[in-house]
Chains A and B, each alone.
Chain A
Amino acid sequence: MNTLPQELRYTTTHEWVRIENDTATIGITEHAQSLLGDLVYVDLPPVKKGLAVGDDAAVVESVKAAADVYSPVDGEVIEVNAALNDKPELINQDPYGAGWLFKVKLVGELPLSLLSAADYEAMLNEE
């Protein structure tokens, strides 16, 4: 767990968020990808789609499982990681980097429910 990037915020459902100005980049955590195993398919949201916190935003699918990715923030989708269409394994290989899923232009305040790296790590240790 010492690889958990400190600058990111996390959710209890294992998404991460990188905030840069009014843009949020969203992906799934190392822990989530290891639970799912080798990913074979990613269903990304359409650009311009409006998202509220907790909305179904994307689906990541492995051989034996599929998981919904929920939006951790409010906003509008401005970009998706098209590289994942051909190479979903990028999520397995580099979940916090090349394996990002989509970017959202933020609207309003960040939700209070977002966890710090330390809180997320504590949550994982409890599981």
Chain B
Amino acid sequence: MPFIPHTEDDVKAMLNTIGVNRIDDLFDEIPGHLRIRDLNALDSGLNEMTMSRDMKERAERDGGLACFLGAGAYEHHIPAAVWQIASRGEFLTAYTPYQAEASQGTLQLLYEYQTMMAHLMGLEVSNASLYDGASALAEAVLMAVRANTAAKEPRILIAGNLHPHYRQTIEALVRPQGIHLETLPYNDKTGCLEPQLPKIENGDMVAVVIAQPNFFGGIEEVDNITDWAHQHQALVIAVVNPIAMALLKEPGAWGQRGADIVCGEGQPLGVPLASGGPYFGFLCTKMDYVRQMPGRLIGRTIDQDGKTGFSLTLQAREQHIRRAKATSNICTNQGLAVTAATIYMSLLGASGLADVAKASHANSKVLCTALTALPGIRLRFNSPYFHEFVIECPCPADSLIQALLKKNILAGLDLSVLSPELNHCLLICVTETKTSDDIHTYANAVQHALQHILTAVED
């Protein structure tokens, strides 16, 4: 029996000890009218060989594309050691470190993760992870509502150039608590937030949510926006790409006082694309707000002999103690993905991470230059960007995407699906994983496709 070690003799002896005749007798407290006899609508089990062939065939159907699509999930090189170590059974098959003495491996690793993440963001403290970037932002919004006692009403101002899926996720997760979400508009030419910030009264807003880079890859003037928000007693929630933070100014250094809560998608740090998860959300803040944080926190302490050790701390914020008054309902988080990220950051170091950011960015410049040299293609927004940019095509972006798919290239994201004013727009990402050959192949494919599509239109 797959995964069940019992012999017939075992079963007999065990039933005898219990004092029943059959295993089925153990279900005698389930009322008869609720009992079902089988699951026969399902198929019979497969063995490992058959399953391997089946899954390999499925994986092959999904793989093999050269990925130029980003939009919140980024392909980076993952060093071999990352998942070899993260997949060790002692990390893979442990659970939440409730028994600290038997979980020092996970606990110390999480403390090291918290440290690296806090330093990367320029803030004082990081939690041990949330589910993903979008849900981490929703948690950051709820946290800001708890933390900003100066605000009169729970209103949040959200950058209009935030990833639309993030916006949808916040709406789903915070709407039931009566929080109002309003939009900070972006400029149609730059793709960045309007430099002229709206007039608001002190205490009108709980927080302002800024994405750096924004959904279009554009780099925001974060200092001005941060200071403006703070002048109006609003907290600043930064949503950032962690790889970009090796290159761009860290949120803790934005403006006079720095961002208050920083969150985002941790996937670029050593976690594969994998159809969208498991990834992990990160969340960092200032010490002043630590008790309002959602999720687990690891603290360093000593044992009864004075030896250094690590344990879950400030647990009284959490649902298993605080129940209805917890800071969040989160219990299971994304520990394994964090294990991978910690190993990834250790292997690369600060300069390696900065090189990944720079190389990705340089590659994106090369492709952008090549594409905008083609007739009919222009760069949609004129702001500085980080490793991701938007082009406007002379045809629907989807026709380009379809044409490149035939050459096994995943060209990018068709933005017309998200907003009608971005008709014909394609969001393209290039990371350090692409060679100049890859980039030229892409540009040539676009050139050919355009010739084809435009000729077809003229015909």
Contact = CB atoms under 8 A, between A and B. Distances in A.
* In the complex, A touching B (Cβ < 8 A): yes
Interface string A53-80: 0000000011111101000000000000
Contacts of B325: 66, 68
A41 interface: yes
Contacts of A65: 316, 321
Interface of B is mostly: helix
B238 to A, nearest CB: 26
B291 A66 contact: no
B291 A64 contact: no
A35 B198 CA distance: 52
Using C-beta atoms within 8 Å of the partner chain, give the interface range for chain A.
Answer: 10 to 19
Interface in A95-124: none
Contacts of B149: 46
Contacts of B291: 41, 43
Using C-beta atoms within 8 Å of the partner chain, give the interface range for chain B.
Answer: under 10
Nearest to B316: A66
Contacts of A64: 315-316, 321
A39 to B, nearest CB: 10
Contacts of B315: 63-64
A62 B291 CA distance: 13
A28 B291 CA distance: 22
Nearest to A67: B316
A62 B314 CA distance: 9
Contacts of A61: 316
Contacts of B180: none
B322 interface: yes
Interface in B149-186: 149
Contacts of B317: 66
Interface string A15-30: 0000000000000000
Interface in B75-128: none
Contacts of A63: 315-316
Interface in A1-60: 41, 43, 46
A59 B321 CA distance: 13
Nearest to B311: A63
Interface string B306-341: 000000000111000110010000000000000000
Interface of B: 149, 291, 315-317, 321-322, 325
Given A61-B316, A62-B316, A65-B316, 9 more contacts: A41-B316, A46-B149, A63-B315, A63-B316, A64-B315, A66-B316, A66-B322, A66-B325, A68-B325
